[in-house]
Chain A
Amino acid sequence: MFDIKRADDGTVKLIGRFDAAQVEARRAEFEALSGSCVLDLAELDYVSSAGLGLLFATLKRLTESGATLKLINLKPHIRELFQIAGFDRIFAIE
């Protein structure tokens, strides 16, 4: 299961298992993000290269438009994947 929820403060929460099938199903929601965004990954249990790729494409698009994308509350194993991918040096992570 994977879900995307927007909190009252505008933070976007990613929840559950973000696999290649979910990337195909939810791509349009990421493409609709505009302006500077904060993604809260506290409830993200799993992400594969497909999910990382969509997050990267979103970061690139927002950055090119002058906006920012920040990731917060990564679980340790998710943070480690970002490190293996070299994304810890590209994304703003708190």
Chain B
Amino acid sequence: MASERTFPKAIGSLEEVFNHLDAFYAAEAIETGPAMSLSLVVEELFTNLVKYNTASRNPILVRLGRENGRVRIELVDHDVDRFDPATLPEVDVNAPMSERTPGGLGLHLVRAIVDHISFEYEDRVMRIVVVKNVERADV
């Protein structure tokens, strides 16, 4: 099953985003563990678009699909300036408390969870694609 929907570009949209995801998990019989991980990935990516792609307030498209044992999630943000999340500073997870800052943690978690992530930017459209195997028992 493929499913897609747009959401206003605002942190306040998260509850509706989660509802959309929960309906997808139920339809695809995705277990709680992988579902939690996927929700975390979508929240981190969605909130990054809200925080950093401020050139437009166009809604964000969230597209969900499953092929065999893998879930593919795509977030599309229209009419925005180029923003490459790869340019965000890497988190030093070994740093002591005095040197830790909150920035970049979300993308660090996403990279640890998904099996594939790609960022594309063309004609002022940003597209983020993540793929996760949901039939393996991990985060």
Residues of B within 8 A of A26 (CB): none
- Quick one: closest B residue to A48, CB to CB? B43
Residues of A within 8 A of B95 (CB): 86
Query: What string of 1s and 0s marks CB contacts (under 8 Å) between A6-19 and chain B?
Result: 00000000000101
Cα-based distance from A45 to B11 in the complex (angstroms): 20
Contact B102 A80 (CB under 8 A): no
Contact A19 B105 (CB under 8 A): no
Contact B33 A49 (CB under 8 A): no
Contact A17 B102 (CB under 8 A): no
Contacts A49-B102, A49-B106, A77-B139; A20 near B97 (Cβ below 8 A): no
Chain A interface category by residue count? 20 to 34
- Quick one: closest A residue to B112, CB to CB? A84
- Per the 8 Å Cβ criterion, residues 46-69 of A in contact with B are 46, 48-50, 52-53, 56-57, 59-60, 63
- Quick one: closest B residue to A21, CB to CB? B14
Output the residue of A45, A52, A63, A84 with the most chain B CB within 10 A: A84
Judge if A81 is at the interface, Cβ distance under 8 Å: yes
Contact A49 B109 (CB under 8 A): yes
A-B contact count (CB 8 A): 71
Contact A19 B100 (CB under 8 A): no
- Quick one: closest A residue to B46, CB to CB? A20
- Quick one: closest A residue to B96, CB to CB? A90
- Quick one: closest A residue to B41, CB to CB? A48
Cα-based distance from A40 to B109 in the complex (angstroms): 23
Contacts A48-B43, A53-B102; A81 near B109 (Cβ below 8 A): yes
Judge if A33 is at the interface, Cβ distance under 8 Å: no
Judge if B15 is at the interface, Cβ distance under 8 Å: yes
- Quick one: closest B residue to A75, CB to CB? B36
Cα-based distance from A65 to B36 in the complex (angstroms): 35
Question: Among the listed B43, B96, B102, B109, which residue makes an inter-chain contact with A19, where contact means beta carbons less than 8 Å apart?
Answer: B43
Residues of B within 8 A of A72 (CB): none
Interface residues of A (CB under 8 A from B): 17, 19-21, 24, 45-46, 48-50, 52-53, 56-57, 59-60, 63, 77, 80-81, 84-86, 89-90
The 10 residue pairs across chains A and B that have the minimum distance between CB atoms: A86-B93, A53-B102, A49-B106, A49-B105, A21-B14, A84-B112, A20-B47, A48-B43, A90-B97, A21-B11
